[in-house]
């Protein structure tokens, strides 16, 4: 049994875990990261692509903004659309904040490069991960490393950044959770084609929701509302482009959708989940280990960043003998979690069609209100562009 000693063990090497290790290192706190997947797999996961202003500010302040500042596409707002109508909401005019298109894969590359240069210890491709003694001041994590050796890392605190299926959430006793499973999924498509829009288009359509997003000047990201259980292979390329053209309004007021080569397709179930508390003893949860939101409001990655931005100073203070921030972490983080959970639900239910004609009229009424009332538009903009960390 090989033993290691560190101050914080971080379970999960995604953006939340790697950013936390970076923030802790800046405060002089040592950490060890353990991850079940390979480095290549974690770096290549195609997930979120929208960063709030506060997330960009934080990443820049901690030395992770070089490529972000150079390559991110700054957006002033979004388009909301339904048949024969398209309206632009300018977040900068409404609330003074923009959003930025910069994929999670790019953030992960920046974090991996920065932590490797700093000599961060990361154990990839581990198995049998288990948490022990979380109510003591010497908790530990055991696992089998990629070479088959049993290992133990003893620490002062453990942080679970290991998503909804990792061991961290399950290690908290007497936890309470809230769930909402939506009756539809997102069919995600990545295509080698320049975006046909300058900013994201969120489209309500009788056939189902559609979203035109982007990853770069030459790569576009699209989503279609589909029934749960849809097999992505059951759609031909022509069917995909025809559905996108219809739902996004190809030909409407002269706008055209440019098709291209589809390079990736996947189906993402839609759900909301909040697990409380986010701390028990010396175990803390961050990111998807504590909460999941549907992607409609672009909150998932930004919530994870906000969590670790709160948690890093709390852990630093705790290790110096001051427990106040750590004691308040769960309550403080959950205020923002629930606000973002509500906003994500609100955007989702406003834009995704059902078979109920009553729902249809409510959704269209809400869309007309949001695009005609400055106060309503400002509320959407404030939530989408991001509330302050620690809200």
Nearest to 333 by CA among 109, 98, 174, 159: 159
**Residue written as token pair 């202003």:** 53
- Residue whose structure tokens are 């606000």: 339
Q: What are phi and psi of 2, to 5 degrees?
A: -90, 130
Helices (H), 77-213: 91-95, 104-117, 167-170
Active-site entry in 15, 22, 75, 195:
75
Bridge partners for 227 per DSSP = none
Candidate list 102, 182, 184, 202, residue with the active-site label: 202
How far, CA to CA in Å, does 45 sit from each of 120, 202, 335? 21, 23, 28
Q: Is-catalytic flag, 41?
A: no
> Catalytic pick from 100, 212, 295, 352?
295
- Phi-psi sector, 211: left (phi>0), alpha (psi -120 to 50), beta: beta
Q: State yes or no: is 323 an active-site residue.
A: no
Alpha-carbon distances of 340 from 195, 266, 272, rounded to whole Å: 28, 25, 10
139 vs 313: CA distance, rounded Å: 20
Is 202 labeled as catalytic in the residue annotation? Answer: yes
Is residue 205 annotated as a catalytic residue, yes or no? no
* Rg of the chain taking only CA atoms, in angstroms: 21
Nearest to 315 by CA among 341, 290, 278: 278
Catalytic residue among 79, 223, 329, 384: 384
H/E segment holding residue 326: helix 324-351
184 has catalytic annotation: no
Other Cβ atoms less than 10 A from the Cβ of 309: the count is 22
User: Per the residue annotation, which of 212, 291, 299, 352 is the catalytic one?
Assistant: 299
Active site residues: 75, 202, 295, 299, 384
């Amino acid at each position: 049994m090989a033993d290691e000693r560190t101050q914080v063990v971080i379970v999960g090497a995604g953006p939340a875990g790697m950013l936390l290790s970076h923030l802790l290192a800046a405060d002089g706190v040592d950490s060890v990261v353990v991850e079940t997947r390979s480095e290549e797999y974690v770096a290549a996961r195609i997930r979120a692509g929208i960063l709030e202003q506060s997330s960009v500010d934080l990443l820049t302040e901690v030395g992770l903004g070089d490529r972000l500042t150079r390559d991110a596409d700054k957006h002033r707002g979004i388009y909301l659309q339904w048949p024969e109508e398209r309206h632009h909401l300018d977040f900068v005019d409404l609330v003074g904040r923009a959003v930025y298109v910069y994929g999670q894969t790019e953030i992960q590359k920046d974090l991996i490069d920065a932590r490797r240069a700093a000599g961060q210890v990361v154990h990839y491709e581990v198995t049998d991960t288990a948490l022990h003694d979380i109510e003591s001041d010497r908790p530990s994590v055991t696992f089998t490393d990629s070479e088959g050796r049993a290992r133990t890392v003893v620490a002062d605190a453990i942080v679970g950044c290991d998503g909804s299926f990792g061991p961290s959430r399950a290690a908290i006793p007497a936890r309470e959770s809230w769930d909402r499973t939506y009756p539809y999924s997102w069919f995600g498509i990545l295509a080698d084609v320049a975006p046909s829009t300058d900013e994201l288009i969120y489209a309500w359509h009788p056939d189902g929701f559609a979203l035109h997003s982007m990853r770069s000047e030459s790569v576009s990201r699209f989503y279609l509302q589909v029934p749960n259980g849809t097999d992505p292979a059951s759609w031909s390329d022509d069917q995909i482009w025809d559905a996108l053209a219809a739902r996004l309004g190809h030909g409407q007021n002269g706008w055209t959708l440019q098709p291209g080569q589809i390079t990736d397709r996947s189906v993402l179930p839609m759900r909301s989940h909040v697990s409380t508390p986010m701390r028990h003893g010396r175990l803390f949860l961050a990111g998807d280990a504590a909460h999941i939101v549907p992607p409609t409001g672009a909150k998932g990655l930004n919530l994870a960043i906000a969590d670790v931005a709160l948690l890093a100073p709390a852990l630093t203070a705790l290790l110096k003998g001051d427990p106040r921030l750590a004691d308040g972490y769960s309550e403080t983080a959950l205020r923002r979690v629930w606000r973002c959970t509500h906003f994500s639900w609100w955007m989702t239910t406003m834009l995704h069609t059902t078979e109920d004609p009553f729902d249809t009229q409510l959704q269209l009424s809400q869309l007309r209100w949001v695009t005609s009332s400055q106060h309503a538009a400002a509320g959407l903009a404030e939530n989408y562009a991001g509330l302050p960390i620690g809200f």
